[in-house]
Chains A and B, each alone.
Chain A
Amino acid sequence: MTRLFRNREIWLALAIIAVIVLVTWRFSRFSQPSNLLTILNDTSILMMLALGQMVVILTRSIDLSMASNLALTGMIVAMVNAAFPMIPIPFLIAGCIIVGGALGAFNGILVWKLDIPPIVVTLGTLTIFRGLVFVISGGAWVNAAQMSPDFIQLQRGSLIGLPILTWFAIVVAALFFVLMTRTPMGRSFYAIGVNPTASVYTGINVGRTKFLAFVISGAVSGLCGYLWISRYVIASVEVASGYELTIIAACVIGGVSIAGGIGTVAGALLGALFLGVVNNALPVIGVSPFWQMAISGAAILIAVVLNARGETRKGRIILKKAEVAA
């Protein structure tokens, strides 16, 4: 029992329930199933992005380019859809995942082969990808009228009572859960985050594993590019501008350690959900949207303080050379 309560996912879930209960106390309609489903649906994209970011952070890297990748892939798919409306949507989605994954692979190659620190690489590609959105679109918007009906309607449909967008999040989360807990690749993400040197000796290729992490975060960003554009039915240069830090915030609140090696799928999902619930609750209880930023900032700081107590520092590094050799 005490062990259960030391689990941070439980605390986070309790915090989310507490927020819902507090808001319901003022506005009973807030906790109606339909409203809770809406919140879940609103948060789906952030959840998927947080999972992608988590894999990268686990390997002691960071991907600042996710939001720009999303905007670029989203713009490409919107323009393709506007130009060739006959292309079936599943092909477009597959295309998004490939394009996003390729952009992620670009980050990954620079980290893997040239050994440039991930924060520098993705700082560069953050601005490059965002600039490319402008270049390919000429600064113009793609709006609802130019998109095909299928493109917009797909995620508005529902399946067994849940919106399609939520199903996307569920499928992605399930894939991540299997990847992280049931496959050697998932274990190697944790391993190189906990101790890169030891990982080398167990035969893990650290550089390649980081590369794969970036491909995964890129592919997720690409998928979310389509979902974002078709949800808000506008593709512009400004799409998801500054969102990269919200994604990282969701991870941090979810207990993913920025020093690598610590984090769970459930944690990242709950971290994203926490931000989603808070952001949905504020307008309901009559707090102006201008408070939103300050409150999420405070939530991040509190989460970090709580995180820091739970984490044990990593052990000694004896053979630093092995890392270099990797």
Chain B
Amino acid sequence: MTDTTSTVRRLPDRLDNPFRSALLSWESLLVLVAIGIFVANSIASPYFLNAWSLSDMTFNFTEKALIALAMALVIITGEIDLSVASIIALASTLMGLVLNAFGAPTPVLVLVGILTGLACGAFNGFLVTVLKLPSIVVTIGTMSLFRGIAFIILGDQSFGGYPRDFAWFGQGYVFWVISFELVLFLVAAVIFYVLLHRTNFGRRVFAIGNNATAAQFSGVRVDRIKFVLFCLTGLMSGIAAVLLTARLGSTRPSIAQGFELDVITMVVLGGVSILGGAGSIIGVVLAALIIGLVTFGLGLLNVPGIVMSIFTGTLLIVVIALPILWRMWKEKRA
């Protein structure tokens, strides 16, 4: 898991030519892929190119992408959080429980969802930083644990009957056709961009990923930052739980099953190195958009969901492999 060999995240670039290296950056590759899929979609389906379709498309990825923003930071530090989907399930279940037991109003529901996410994230962070356990194992454990608690509470039941103003979080539109979810995602993306690329905190995140020991010796509080990041993924999962529950209008313990792998796919496709130390928020946003475009385009063509997974899986491997093959080819020629 902790091999040092990696050139996955960058296309081979020439440092002496900034224009050329910008052109060959991971993000520009993603933009090309996105444009290609967009064009293919518009040709393949006459229903693709209209404002409402495109707006609907965003629902395919906004919830997962919100978590991917925080997950990117966790993965840049060399850790991983596999429990995010289970956090959604637990947060959503507790919201349903509070609603059905006390008839709680919308603000309380939202608060319950977000705080549950935060608490779950803090629990992960505690296990990883205080007890010094490997995050991949911890979060496999909490993945079962959190969803297990949701199953204990709900069994095979489901909760519904959410108030109308609560549904707005998942179904409402802010500017005519732009959904609240999308606006929230864009705002969050800007916040995370500034956090990662424009603050000392962000620089420390990269420092930890490149060499945690060196970062520790240069005065970075490695454990504290990792703890904060796990809380942040938990928080974003809590927010995603609010949006998803509001959009679906009901809670089941099997909600969001398999989301964790989609979120990690977005992060890795976005050029974040799974080994830590490299990545960008812009890449993650582009990757989320690509996955949204792919699933929506295939949906318009009536491709079943399980077959879409072949496309996303292949996309993941091919996009990661392309620069490596390119490099090998160049080396062979030189």
Contact = CB atoms under 8 A, between A and B. Distances in A.
B321 interface: yes
Contacts of B250: none
Contacts of B142: 297, 301
Interface residues of B, number: 57
Contacts of B158: none
Which bucket holds chain A's interface residue count? 35 or more
Contact of A124 (B6, B136, B314): B314
B270 to A, nearest CB: 12
Chain A binding surface, main DSSP class: helix
Interface string B252-289: 01000110010011001000001100000000000000
A139 B275 contact: no
Contacts, number: 167
A116 interface: yes
Contact of B151 (A110, A290, A300, A320): A290
Nearest to A299: B141
* Interface residue SS majority, chain B: helix
B144 A115 contact: no
Contact of A127 (B136, B154, B309): B309
B1 interface: yes
A110 B321 CA distance: 8
B144 A296 contact: yes
Given A123-B264, A293-B147, A259 B2 contact: yes
A123 B265 contact: yes
Interface in B1-31: 1-8
Contacts of A110: 317, 321
Contact of A116 (B1, B132, B147, B324): B324
B146 A297 contact: yes
A304 B138 contact: yes
A128 B314 contact: yes
Contact of B304 (A123, A139, A242, A323): A139
Contacts of B202: none
Interface stretch (A38-46, A169-177, A245-253, A265-273): A245-253
A294 B6 contact: no
Contacts of B312: 127
Interface string A102-132: 0000000010001111111101111110111
B210 to A, nearest CB: 13
A258 B8 contact: no
A70 to B, nearest CB: 16
Contacts of B138: 301, 304
A117 B265 CA distance: 13
A133 B4 CA distance: 35
Interface of B: 1-8, 80, 82, 127, 131-134, 136-138, 140-149, 151-152, 154-156, 253, 257-258, 261, 264-265, 268, 274-275, 304, 306-310, 312-314, 316-317, 320-321, 324-325
Given A291-B148, A292-B148, 6 more contacts: A123-B261, A242-B257, A293-B147, A297-B147, A304-B134, A323-B3
The 3 closest A-B pairs by CB, nearest first: A294-B148, A297-B144, A297-B145
26 contacts: A61-B1, A114-B324, A116-B8, A116-B321, A117-B6, A123-B264, A124-B314, A125-B313, A127-B265, A127-B309, A128-B317, A131-B306, A237-B306, A245-B82, A245-B140, A249-B140, A259-B1, A290-B154, A290-B155, A293-B148, A297-B144, A298-B141, A301-B145, A304-B137, A320-B4, A323-B5
